[in-house]
Amino acid sequence: MATIGETLGPPRERIDPLRWVRQNLFNSWYNGLLTLLALALLAALLRSVLTWALSQADWAVVAVNLRLLMVGTFPSEQIWRVWLCVLLAATLLGLSWGLWPNVARAVGAAACAASFLLALLPFAPTSRGLLALCGALILGGMIAGRRLSIPRADGTGRRAGAWVAGAWLLLLPLVIYLLRGGLVLPAIPTSRWGGLLLTLLLAIVAIVFSFPLGVLLAIGRRSSLPVIRLFCTLYIELIRGVPLITVLFMMQIMLPLFVPGGESIDNVARAMVGFTIFTAAYIAENVRGGLQAIPRGQEEAARALGLNPLLTMGMIVLPQALRIVIPANVGQFISLFKDTSLVAVAGLLDLLGIARSVLAQSEFLGRQSEVLLFVALVYWVFAYSLTYVSRRLEEALGVGQR
Amino acid sequence: MSVRGTTAGATSIPFWRNVRVLSWIGQAAFLLLVALVAAWLYGNVTAGMQRIGIGGGYGFLNQSAGFEIGVKPVPYTPQDSYWRAFLVGVLNTLSVTVLGIVLATILGLLMGIAQLSSNWLIARLAQAYVAIFRNTPLLVQLLFWYLAVFLRLPRVQEAIALPGPIYLSNRGVTMVGLVPTESFGVWLLLVLVGVAAGAALWYFLRRAQERTGLQSPRFLLALLVVALVAVAGWLVLAPSPLAVEVPERRGLNFRGGWQFVPEYAALLLGLVVYTGTFIAENVRAGIQGVARGQTEAAQALGLSRGQVLRLVVLPQALRIIIPPTTSQYLNLAKNSSLAIAIGFPDLFNVSRTITNQTGQVIQMIGLIMASYLAISLTTSLLMNLYNRRVRLVER
């Protein structure tokens, strides 16, 4: 609906293919030359890639080791636990999609489509069935969530939201319990976690723990207490100044020296701690940027209303600051997800670590391209969809518009 | 808050309610806690090191290293000290970092501008490059370049020859190179004199323009002076200062020219291609961040296309581009430590070897962290200086 003061755009031109080509590819002599050069390059590239992919590449190495690449050496008779985790997450995702369509629609729709698409691929029949179930649960959850979100007199919608948020909080401990076992379930040592499962676990645990730590560090760096400020500044600058891999190695080598009985802490937990303390420093800098962007008047007004410093920070300043830094933090989490591959150098069998061990299998020697391209594709799908989601999230939350 | 509390506060605040006292007590408690944890850790470390039988101090670095390093920018033998080995690692890291920063900047600049090209195909290709290489882990890319590309190149006998000549083989990249001769130092001095003369000319012409409005292609003129001096020096000096060395096949390897082992080539390529995507995005955002009206106004004033870019758009875009690009440079320097995955002897890899041989974990970790901090701080110092200059250009 056009209102007064709104400018109308120019009328749309009719699209004529020949004209489009002339305008977009050959609008000047050097652009024409560039187009031809790029076309030649593209043709050569496509030809060599296609010849390789169709005649020389042998994807059997990926097909045979697919299970290893996905879950590592997780005991096959206990694999239902992994599936249970996936299905639980899918249900919650569906419910969130229904309850908060602005925020979760992109993730939900992408995950749903991905599940159904994967179910079409020639995996084992049970896997395909479970993948289809996963997609169906997302859809079902979405419909149920939408029903629940219709405002009613008794406030069911709001309570449903609180329940789902609580369930998300409980999901991580539950997943860890399901995968580790104990009590009634047979225990599985973390050394048997591997592949994509381990990659995702490392990333999620590090995200969940580094975020609050980073927020605390950011607040500490802006504190008026010199000791706290100095400590936080030193921590942040020291960690940001060194490569992640040195932090990981420090965890591997120095933990046994620093903590008595440190040898008994398993490698996966060490890597998780390493990622957490590393990412927290970067999150802290992002959050500090957000805190600096909040006008002082907000804090002063809150104090004038009688809120104590804790409430001022927690209810007035922090919510505004965190919303500003969502894109930066999602970017940080994407790079954390990619960086989990570094544990392969430290000897863990994550997706890349498993890929390296697959490369050493004697029956598949010389298949580096296939394995590494497959691994790169898996990482790419996750990282790219996260990028996409963050862009949608920015739009949904109106970052930079309010 | 009770009424009694406020009336009591009017006369004198009891110390347990005084914010200033409380904050100092809190900080002292925090300090005590940190000190206790540090003391506990220190005690554990000394006990642990005694248990394994490792002494303290940095004296061990004077012992003979006893291991060979594949790539050495300075002479090094296994009889040399650990210090020397560490130095070789530092130099390798610096070499790959500096070359990587230069190449990644060029690639990122090209791709960033290409993303905004009016040519549809070029823009899409540049966007595809960014989307692909930005969203896969650097380590996967490094392993791919190393294992699936450089190590699978043909043997030296069947090396792929590119014009140049540049040879690609499983021994790495060998290309025609320039090797300094004994007159190189003199020539370098001459070139420096030329640069000074050129700069003086440029400054004089600028002053002239400011005073009289006389316009001149002063940058080109200055460049011409430098080139003239360099060429004259080249012709006058007896053995020409740089000898062109064409690599030739000798048995199982190449002789002469510039040689890059596969590890170095893969690391450099991986770092450049990966960091290039981030710089490309910075450049794109920077150019898009300059309001369109600026370009239009500059064109309305009658500036040429080049002048619009050089005098109006670029100074404003640089202001946006430089801070995030600085952190990308720092990332590149830190990411060069992934060399350990493909066996290139950089600072971190060599330090790991030293740590494994001597067991001096704490000292080596300290040395590694200090080195990376020094590199990071120097880079950000240089970039901040440049940033300040760009800011001055703005206003």
Query: pLDDT tens digits for A309-321?
Result: 889 988 899 988 8
CB of A344 within 8 Å of a chain B CB? The answer is yes
Contact A257 B365 (CB under 8 A): no
Token code pair at residue B389: 């200059």
Contact A238 B361 (CB under 8 A): no
Q: Using CA atoms, how far apart are residues B374 and B70, in angstroms rounded to an integer?
A: 25
**A226 cis-preceded (ω within 30 degrees of 0):** no
pLDDT in tens, A62-120: 888 888 888 888 888 888 888 888 888 888 888 888 887 777 777 788 888 888 888 88
Contacts of B118 in chain A (CB under 8 A): 24, 27, 31
Contacts of B25 in chain A (CB under 8 A): none
Higher pLDDT, A187 or A285: A285
Does residue A51 surpass a pLDDT of 70?
yes
Q: Which of B375, B381, B365, B370 minimizes the C-alpha distance to B336? A: B375
Contact A243 B372 (CB under 8 A): yes
Distances (CA, A) of B34 to A217, A229, A267, B27: 15, 14, 26, 10
CB of A339 within 8 Å of a chain B CB? The answer is yes
Q: Using CA atoms, how far apart are residues A125 and A131, in angstroms rounded to an integer?
A: 10
For the segment B236-265, the average pLDDT, to the nearest whole number, is 80
Contact A246 B31 (CB under 8 A): no
Least confident of A78-87, A132-141, A227-236, B3-12: B3-12
Would you state the pLDDT for residue A58? 81
Q: In terms of C-beta density within 10 A (0-12 exposed, 13-18 middle, 19 or more buried), how is residue B313 classed?
A: middle
Contact A246 B26 (CB under 8 A): no
Q: What is the mean pLDDT of chain B?
A: 85
DSSP code, position B64: B
Q: Using CA atoms, how far apart are residues B114 and B104, in angstroms rounded to an integer?
A: 15
Would you state the pLDDT for residue A3? 58
Task: Enter the ipTM.
Answer: 0.86
CB of B157 within 8 Å of a chain A CB? The answer is no
B228's enclosing H/E stretch is helix B218-236
Does residue A122 surpass a pLDDT of 70?
yes
| Residue of chain A with shortest Cα separation from B147 | A368
Which ranges of A181-243 would DSSP assign to H, the alpha helix?
195-221, 226-241
pLDDT in tens, A14-43: 677 888 888 777 777 888 888 889 899 999
Q: Which amino acid is at B29?
A: A
pLDDT band at B5 (very low <50, low <70, confident <90, very high): very low
Would you state the pLDDT for residue A157? 63
Would you state the pLDDT for residue A387? 84
Q: Using CA atoms, how far apart are residues B342 and B361, in angstroms rounded to an integer?
A: 22
Contacts of B348 in chain A (CB under 8 A): 243, 245-246
Would you state the pLDDT for residue A398? 63
Contact B140 A249 (CB under 8 A): no
Q: Using CA atoms, how far apart are residues B341 and A245, in angstroms rounded to an integer?
A: 11
Least confident of A278-287, B231-240, B284-293, B294-303: B231-240
CB of A231 within 8 Å of a chain B CB? The answer is yes
| Residue of chain A with shortest Cα separation from B145 | A369
Q: Which residues pair with B250 in a beta bridge?
A: B253
pLDDT exceeding 70 applies to what percent of chain B? 94
Contact A372 B143 (CB under 8 A): yes
Q: Is A314 left (phi over 0), alpha (psi -120 to 50) or beta?
A: alpha
DSSP code, position A314: I
Would you state the pLDDT for residue B9? 45
Contacts of A353 in chain B (CB under 8 A): none
Q: What is the mean pLDDT of chain A?
A: 84
Least confident of A22-36, B44-58, B166-180: B44-58
DSSP A114-142: HHHHHHHSS--HHHHHHHHHHHHHHHHHH
Q: Which of A286, A310, A313, A319 minimizes the C-alpha distance to A299? A: A313
CB of B291 within 8 Å of a chain A CB? The answer is no
Q: Using CA atoms, how far apart are residues A143 and A158, in angstroms rounded to an integer?
A: 16
Does residue A275 surpass a pLDDT of 70?
yes
CB of A265 within 8 Å of a chain B CB? The answer is no
DSSP code, position B158: G
Higher pLDDT, A379 or B14: A379
pLDDT band at A213 (very low <50, low <70, confident <90, very high): very high
CB of B231 within 8 Å of a chain A CB? The answer is no
Q: In terms of C-beta density within 10 A (0-12 exposed, 13-18 middle, 19 or more buried), how is residue A337 classed?
A: buried
For the segment B43-63, the average pLDDT, to the nearest whole number, is 75
| Secondary structure of residue A267 in the 3-state scheme | helix
A331 close to A389: Cβ distance less than 8 angstroms: no
CB of A227 within 8 Å of a chain B CB? The answer is yes
DSSP code, position B20: H
pLDDT in tens, B138-147: 999 999 999 9
Contacts 24+ apart (CB under 8 A), B62-70: B63/B358, B65/B354, B65/B357, B66/B357, B67/B353, B67/B357, B69/B345, B69/B350, B70/B261, B70/B263, B70/B343, B70/B344, B70/B345
Contact A383 B132 (CB under 8 A): no
Does residue A360 surpass a pLDDT of 50?
yes
Least confident of A161-165, B1-5, B363-367: B1-5
pLDDT band at B127 (very low <50, low <70, confident <90, very high): very high
Q: Using CA atoms, how far apart are residues B265 and B273, in angstroms rounded to an integer?
A: 12
Does residue B3 surpass a pLDDT of 50?
no
Would you state the pLDDT for residue A135? 87
Query: How far does CA A298 lie from the centroid of its chain?
Result: 32
CB of A54 within 8 Å of a chain B CB? The answer is no
Q: Using CA atoms, how far apart are residues A295 and B171, in angstroms rounded to an integer?
A: 59
Distances (CA, A) of B312 to A45, A269, B151, B304, B317: 38, 53, 47, 11, 9
Contacts 24+ apart (CB under 8 A), A241-244: A241/B369, A241/B372, A241/B373, A241/B376, A241/B377, A242/B334, A242/B368, A242/B369, A242/B372, A242/B373, A243/B334, A243/B335, A243/B337, A243/B338, A243/B348, A243/B372, A244/A274, A244/A275, A244/A278, A244/A339, A244/A342, A244/B334
Would you state the pLDDT for residue B139? 94
Smallest Cβ distance to B337: which of A31, A246, A359? A246
Would you state the pLDDT for residue A378? 92
Task: Supply the pTM of this predicted model.
Answer: 0.85
CB of A260 within 8 Å of a chain B CB? The answer is yes
Q: Using CA atoms, how far apart are residues A281 and B134, in angstroms rounded to an integer?
A: 22
Q: Among A110-114, B96-100, B284-288, which range has the highest average pLDDT?
A: B96-100
Contact B335 A243 (CB under 8 A): yes
Would you state the pLDDT for residue B333? 93
Higher pLDDT, A262 or B115: B115
Cα four-point dihedral sign B284, B289, B293, B299: negative
CB of A43 within 8 Å of a chain B CB? The answer is no
B248's enclosing H/E stretch is strand B248-250
Q: Which amino acid is at A74?
A: F
CB of A356 within 8 Å of a chain B CB? The answer is yes
Would you state the pLDDT for residue A365? 80
Would you state the pLDDT for residue A257? 74
- Residue B374: how many other CB atoms lie within 10 Å: 12
pLDDT exceeding 70 applies to what percent of chain A? 94
Q: In terms of C-beta density within 10 A (0-12 exposed, 13-18 middle, 19 or more buried), how is residue A397 classed?
A: middle
Would you state the pLDDT for residue B267? 95
Does residue A399 surpass a pLDDT of 80?
no
Q: Using CA atoms, how far apart are residues A338 and A340, in angstroms rounded to an integer?
A: 6
Which ranges of A28-100 would DSSP assign to H, the alpha helix?
29-51, 60-64, 66-71, 79-99
Q: Which amino acid is at B144?
A: F
pLDDT band at B119 (very low <50, low <70, confident <90, very high): confident
Q: Which amino acid is at A273?
A: V
CB of A359 within 8 Å of a chain B CB? The answer is yes
Contact B119 A34 (CB under 8 A): yes
Query: How far does CA A53 lie from the centroid of its chain?
Result: 29
Cα four-point dihedral sign B364, B370, B373, B375: negative
Q: Which of B182, B155, B180, B181 minimizes the C-alpha distance to B170? A: B155
Smallest Cβ distance to B119: which of A24, A226, A338? A24
